Copies of this chain bind each other. A is one copy, B any other.
Amino acid sequence: MAEQNANALAQIADLLGPRLTTALADRESHSRDEAYTPPVLPDAVAYPETTDEVSAILKICHAQGCPVTAFGVGTSLEGHVVPTHGGVSLDMTRMNRVLAVHPQDLDAVVQPGLTRRDLNEELRDTGLMFTVDPGANATIGGMAATRASGTNSVRYGTIRENVLALEVVLADGTILRTGSRARKSAAGYDLTHLFIGSEGTLGIITELTVRLHGQPEKISAATCAFESISGAVESVISAIQMGLPMARIELVDEVQVRAINRYNADFDLPEKPYLFLEFHGSPDGVAEQVENFRAIAEDQGASAFQWAEKTEDRNRLWAARHAAYYAVKTLRAGAVGVVTDCCVPISALAACIARAKALIAASDLIAPIVGHVGDGNFHLQILVDPDSAQEVQRAKTLAGQLNQLALDHAGTVTGEHGVGTGKLDYMQAEHGAAYQVMRDMKRCLDPKGILNPGKLVGSL
C-alpha cells in the first residue's frame, strides 16, 4: 500500500472505528461491478453514516493524496466503481434514508445509498412514484452519478430530469448545496447537472432532491411482433410524432426473443422483432392510446398483439423483459455477457441496428439486441467464453465498432451505461475540444485528482 494511503487509512480509522475495514471479503465485494472488467482491490472500505463523516474522510484523503471511489450496490455496467488506483472505496449504503416526502410538491429528499425500490416501497401509500428504472435495483446516488435512465424515460425522463437539487462533498471536504426545491431556476450556473453523470470524479453526492410522479390511474401493457426492426422503429416514430404519451417502448430482436422463450417456460413467442409497450393514464386515455398505437403498428405490419390489463399479466411481461440479461445466457452454456450500449437519433436507429447485426454476424458471436427505442438507445449483450482471450478481444472489437457507428450517426457512445473504464477510450472522439474543457473542470474541482482517479477524463 502506498504510504499516503496508509496515512489516510490510519486517520479514517480514528474517525470511523470498525466502519473502516481492510477485511478481504469487504475489499473483494468492492473490487468490481457487474461489468466484465478486471477487479481491483481497494486498500480499505469506509462506511460513512453522515455528510460530515464524508467531508472529514475527504479532507483526510485530500491532505494525504489518497484515492476515493464511491460505491453504491455495484450494479454499474462499465467498471465505474472499480478502484483502479486503490485507496478507499466509499460505501454509501449506510446513508439510505428518506429524509422527507413532499406530496404537494411531488418531490422527496433522500440519501444517496437508498435504492430505487426501497424509495418506491416507502412511497407506496402516497399515490406517488419515483420513475427512473434502469432494471437493476441501483442506489439513487449511483444512478445520479452515472446519469442512469431505463425503460420509462421516454415518458418520465432520465435521472437528469428527475433531480432538482443535490448536496455534494467536494474533494477537499467542502459541503455544497446545488439547486433548490423550486421546479426551475434561472439563478446561476447549473452545478446540479454538472455533478449528475460525473461518475464520482468531481464530488461525492450525499443528498438528493428527486422528482416524483403520480401513480397512473390505469396501466396497460402490450406486446406485438414485426416482420422487421424498421417496422417496429417506424411505428414508434409515428407514435411519438402524434404525441402518444407511451410510458415504455422496448424493442427486443428475434435473438433476444429466442432467449426469452427458452428462459421463461410460459413464453412461446414467434421469433421476430418485438415491441413491449406500456401505457399510463386515465382508463379512457389509456384505451385511446392503445387503439391509436395499434392502428399505427398494423400499418407497419405488426401482428400477434397481446394486451395485458391485469397486474399479474403485466408483471409477467415485464419480468420477461427485465430478465433479458439472464435469459441471454441460455443461448450459450458457460458464456458470460459483455454488455454495451449506445444512443442515436431515432431516425438513424433502424439503420444502426441493421448495421450492428451485420457486424455481429461478421464477428461470429451471439449478441442479442434490446433497445429503449423511444430514446434511440440500444444495447448489445455479447456472449463470450470468459476463458478465451481471443473471443473477449473480438467482443471488444465489436463494441468498439458499435461506438463508432453511434458517433457516425450524430449519437453518443453510451446512452445510459456511462463511461467507467469501458468507454474511456472513446471520450476524445465523442467530445473533441470539449474533452479538454472536461479535464479543466476536473482539475478545477479536484486538483489533486483523488476522486475516482483515472475515470471519465482519464489520468490528468
Query: Which residues of A line the B interface, CB within 8 A?
Result: 102-107, 127, 146-149, 153, 157-158, 160-161, 170, 174-178, 180-191, 193-194, 196-198, 202, 213-214, 216-217, 237, 240-243, 245, 281-282, 284-285, 288, 292, 343-347, 374-377, 406, 410-419, 423, 426-427, 430-435, 437-438, 440-441, 443-445, 456
Contacts and interface: CB of A to CB of B under 8 A. Distances in A.
A417 B346 contact: no
Given A104-B237, A430-B187, A441-B189, A345 B161 contact: no
Given A411-B181, A441-B444, A105 B345 contact: yes
B185 A196 contact: no
Contact of A416 (B184, B237, B347): B184
A184 B160 contact: yes
A237 B183 CA distance: 13
Nearest to A128: B241
Q: How many copies of this chain?
A: 2
Nearest to A212: B241
A292 B147 CA distance: 36
A346 B190 contact: no
Nearest to A438: B189
A194 B184 CA distance: 15
Given A186-B415, A194-B194, A430-B187, A107 B180 contact: no
Given A242-B214, A284-B284, A419-B188, A182 B435 contact: no
A179 to B, nearest CB: 8
Contacts of A444: 440-441, 443-444
